């Protein structure tokens, strides 16, 4: 399978973490930023920790684990608190790519391996930019944080994410 095919097949709006076939892209139209409509906050929030060389950092995250929740993710949100995020669980490791269609705020996109270690980070993804941001390897999950937050806490590839979907270790 060519890399181009994998990226195209798994192209996902940054705040949409569902891998889907290219025809699904047409179902997610661009929206006028002034009138953008996304989904309500996904409750209940769940605890998550990022374990960095600077120490653990706690977040409360929305879980995008249904196809619809992954599809809409953080689209149309106007802000994201420093201690909040959204975790997208794909269930099994796969090549992923996110984009920022209808995403009005800058984000850090953290690709996470099945064992909970950080694979890669797309830092400061620009609002509304539709360029694919690939995982560069197989990721089970994606954590979206406010833009710049990963650098602020010192989050790097190889660091650990602690959440119920990852094995304890």
Answer whether residue 167 is part of any domain: no
| Full DSSP string of 107-142 | EEEEEE-TTSBEEEEEEEEPTT----EEEEEEEEEE
Answer whether residue 169 is part of any domain: no
CA-nearest of 33, 21, 106, 107 to 71 is 21
pLDDT at 67: 85
pLDDT at 27: 73
Answer whether residue 121 is part of any domain: yes
Answer whether residue 20 is part of any domain: yes
pLDDT at 23: 35
Answer whether residue 88 is part of any domain: yes
pLDDT at 24: 43
- pLDDT digit string (tens) for 51-109? 999 999 999 999 999 888 988 999 999 999 999 999 999 999 999 999 999 999 999 99
Q: Number of structural domains, the chain? A: 1
Percentage of the chain lying above the pLDDT 90 cut: 78
What average pLDDT does this structure show over 38-47?
Answer: 96
Kindly report the pTM of this predicted structure: 0.85
Answer whether residue 94 is part of any domain: yes
Answer whether residue 123 is part of any domain: yes
Answer whether residue 112 is part of any domain: yes
The β-bridge partners of 85 are: 61
Two tokens, residue 67: 């196809």
Rounded to 5, what percent of the chain is helix, strand, coil?
Answer: 15, 40, 45
Mean pLDDT of the residues in the chain: 87
Residue 139 has pLDDT above 70, yes or no: yes
Pairwise pLDDT comparison (59 vs 20), residue with the higher score:
59
Domain residues for the domain of 76 are 3-162
**What is the domain-level CATH number for residue 126?**
2.60.120.1140
């Amino acid at each position: 399978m060519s890399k181009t095919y994998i990226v195209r097949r798994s192209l996902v709006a940054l705040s949409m973490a569902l891998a889907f076939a290219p025809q699904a892209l047409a179902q997610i139209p661009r929206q006028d930023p002034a009138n953008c409509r996304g989904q309500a906050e996904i409750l209940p929030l769940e605890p998550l920790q990022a374990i960095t060389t600077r120490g653990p950092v706690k977040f409360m995250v929305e879980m995008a684990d249904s196809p619809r929740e992954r599809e809409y993710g953080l689209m149309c949100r106007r802000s994201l608190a420093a201690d909040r995020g959204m975790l997208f669980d794909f269930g099994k490791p796969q090549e992923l790519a996110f984009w920022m269609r209808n995403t009005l705020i800058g984000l850090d996109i953290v690709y996470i391996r099945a064992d909970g270690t950080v694979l890669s980070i797309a830092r400061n993804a620009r609002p509304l930019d539709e360029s694919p941001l690939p995982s560069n390897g197989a990721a089970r999950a994606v954590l979206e944080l406010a833009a710049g937050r990963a650098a602020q806490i010192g989050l790097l590839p190889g660091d650990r994410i602690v959440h119920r979907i990852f094995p304890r270790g």
